[in-house]
Amino acid sequence: MLTLGIETSCDETSVAIIDENFGILSNVIISQIEIHQMYGGVVPEIAARNHIENILPVLDEALHKANLSLDQIDQVAATTEPGLPGAVMVGRVFGKSLANALNVPFVSVNHLYGHMASLRLSNSNLQPPMLCLLVSGGHTILYQVNQNWETKMLCTTADDAVGEAFDKVARVLGLAYPGGPKISQYANMGLPIVPILNKFPKNCFSYSGLKTAVLNYINHEKQKGNQINLPEICANFQYCAVSQLLTKVREYLQQTQIKTLGICGGVSANQYLRDQFTAMCKELGVQLFLPRPELCGDNAAMIAAAAVLGIK
């Protein structure tokens, strides 16, 4: 059983092929980061246009790397929500057309469930029930996942997602897009001596206040004529951002008594986050699952895996 996955929800064009045992036969990704850097973020129209140009070459390369032909594909899966509307449409229409031409089933996949499926691609012994924390540029959500991979949202963000906050703070600090990894690099050279903000809503995640607190701190320091200590600001911001995630997840782990935690999405590649959650889970006796670093970002293998798992 071979599943061909397609991912075009934002600025990565990706096609992958996996087997029924979640073995990745190919996972080709073309990123548009360099194209969008001059704009400080993703421009939807440009992203969609580049997906149209890239989708066929990426498909050809995925088939070549897997040493397969199209007539060997058993089903096609593509991201159909959420994402940039024009970008999503490219993959959705291409995937449906391809499935129709091959006379095989088409599986519509929620991009967020794709990230969740990246945990299964990276960990063959992962078995729900579990709590799953999705942390990305557009989403910060805590799910409860039962044995049949049925999901229930427990907590989401009231405003900004954690990855969005990383990118916005990076922009304020004059760091190039994408800013999240650059903040982490500077944070490794600083110490979180005085948290910029340590208060947040009790019933949900929230990162708008933290972003504003960083901006106010920078303006205050400039008004006093002080030089900005970039590593210290990044370290304090990262500390506050991850501390909020730790606090919320700890509460729900204790409340549900679930002993398995998965963390997925682009921000799950952050090493500080990984280290802090590893320590917390060890303290609580909770088994922690993380995607392999190359599967944290958007990719088509996770979309194919979500189709195989039937996450809903």
State the pLDDT confidence band at 198, using cuts at 50, 70 and 90.
low
The average pLDDT across 79-103 equals 97
Which letter does DSSP use for residue 176 in this model? P
Report yes or no: 248 and 254 within 8 Å, Cβ to Cβ.
no
Check pLDDT > 80 for residue 5.
yes
Dist CA 230 CA 246 (whole Å): 24
Query: What's the half-sphere exposure (Cβ side, CA atoms, 13 Å) at 242?
Result: 26
For residue 31, the tally of other CB atoms under 10 A from its CB is 16
For residue 172, the tally of other CB atoms under 10 A from its CB is 15
Report which secondary-structure segment, H or E, holds 133: strand 130-135
Rounded to two decimals, what is the model's pTM?
0.93
Dist CA 230 CA 235 (whole Å): 9
Q: Residues near 144 by Cβ (< 8 Å), separated by ≥ 6?
A: 129, 130, 131, 132, 151, 152, 154, 252, 256, 258
Q: Which two tokens stand for residue 80?
A: 């159909």
Q: Residue 109: what pLDDT?
A: 98
Q: Residue 280: what pLDDT?
A: 98
State the pLDDT confidence band at 163, using cuts at 50, 70 and 90.
very high
Q: Residue 195: what pLDDT?
A: 57
Q: Residue 296: what pLDDT?
A: 96
Superfamily of segment(s) 3-122+295-309: ATPase, nucleotide binding domain (3.30.420.40)
Dist CA 83 CA 43 (whole Å): 13
Report yes or no: 74 and 17 within 8 Å, Cβ to Cβ.
no
Q: What is the pLDDT of residues 34-78, one digit of tens each?
A: 777 777 778 888 989 999 999 999 999 999 999 999 999 999 999
Q: Which two tokens stand for residue 271?
A: 């090493």
Asked if domains 3-122+295-309 and 130-291 share a fold, the reply is: yes
Q: Residue 254: what pLDDT?
A: 96
Superfamily of segment(s) 130-291: ATPase, nucleotide binding domain (3.30.420.40)
**Spans of all domains in the chain:** 3-122+295-309, 130-291
Output the average pLDDT for the chain: 93
Sign of the alpha-carbon torsion through 231, 234, 237, 243: negative
Match 């149209």 to its residue by tokens: 52
Q: What is the pLDDT of residues 20-42, one digit of tens each?
A: 999 999 999 998 877 777 777 78
Q: Residue 1: what pLDDT?
A: 94
Cis amide bond preceding 293, omega within 30: no
Residue among 308, 264, 238, 266 at smallest CA distance from 31:
266
Q: Which two tokens stand for residue 241?
A: 């951002």
Check pLDDT > 70 for residue 197.
no
Q: What is the pLDDT of residues 290-302, one digit of tens each?
A: 999 999 999 999 9
Dist CA 75 CA 307 (whole Å): 9
Sign of the alpha-carbon torsion through 287, 292, 297, 298: negative
Sign of the alpha-carbon torsion through 271, 277, 278, 279: positive
